[in-house]
Amino acid sequence: MPLKVPAGLPALQTVIDEGNAVDILERSTANTLRIALLNLMPMKETTEADFIRILAASDEEIELTLLKLDTHTPKHAGPEHMERYYTSFGNVRESHFDGLIITGAPIEKIEYEEVTYWPELCTIFDWAKEHVTSTLFICWAAQAGLYQKFGIKKHLLPKKMFGIFPHTIARPEMPLFDGFEETIYVPHSRHTELHREEIVAEERIELLSESELSGVYIMHEKGTRNFFFTGHSEYALNTLDGEYRRDVAKGLPIELPLNYYLDNDPAKGPVDRWHGTACKLFGNWIRNYCKQTRI
């Protein structure tokens, strides 16, 4: 179904040039769902393209609003780009969105209270309770949301969780998992984790998907339509390859991403084990949880 993005957004053309089919929505209609993306990732255009690919595969009409913080200036995105395509949180305080996606951020090793924009982010978490039908917290944002809401702490890993990991689903009957296989694969790229025992001990949280190797993945805040994803289902095929080659070039300690390259050989390129599942996951979320008539 059609997707509407800020006019002239370069990431849209990037996705189209890759050969992806994107049906452009020129004007919003009564059936259009309003989805906001609070993009905390440093490479803004890469993340924009990741979510355009995913959302364009949905069977719903979507208008995508790119949100930026009022108290933070990105280092890796030009001010012209942010000014032209992004809307500050202060400008949408009185608005309602059918869905909100809050991305991760490469600040896992920093204590939450030391993050310069932590107060504003907490305000957005609280604002979303009344102004958003369903919120997705992804990677660092999932850890941050669970900390702010329930006091659940993140824990530093001895080495980076890096690769494509198999996961099981605890409640396959949930609409979020319509059309899923018994085992799904998900990209992870992080230096911290949530401990399973602390998640299951919190009665307000439901653990929906996990991996023996990478730990908890999807959690649901009971009584709401809010979900927490510790992985990056939205990642493009070559994202982990770029991270791996970047760290190798910098001389940083990094292992090959698990279950990623064909025959475990970077020269042979990555194998896509997750994109089809990712499209189903986000499509199910939009269809079954962002619509106020659904449960």
- Nearest Cα to 63, choosing from 95, 40, 41, 93? 95
Q: What type of residue is 107?
A: I
Structure tokens at 245: 């080659």
In sequence order, the β-bridge partners of residue 183 are 168
Helices of type H across 100-254: 118-131, 140-150, 196-200, 239-250
- Nearest Cα to 102, choosing from 147, 55, 163, 51? 51
Structure tokens at 256: 């090959």
Catalytic annotation, residues: 139, 232, 234
User: At 187, is the secondary structure helix, strand, or coil?
Assistant: strand
Give the helix, strand, coil percentages of the chain, each rounded to 5.
Answer: 35, 25, 40
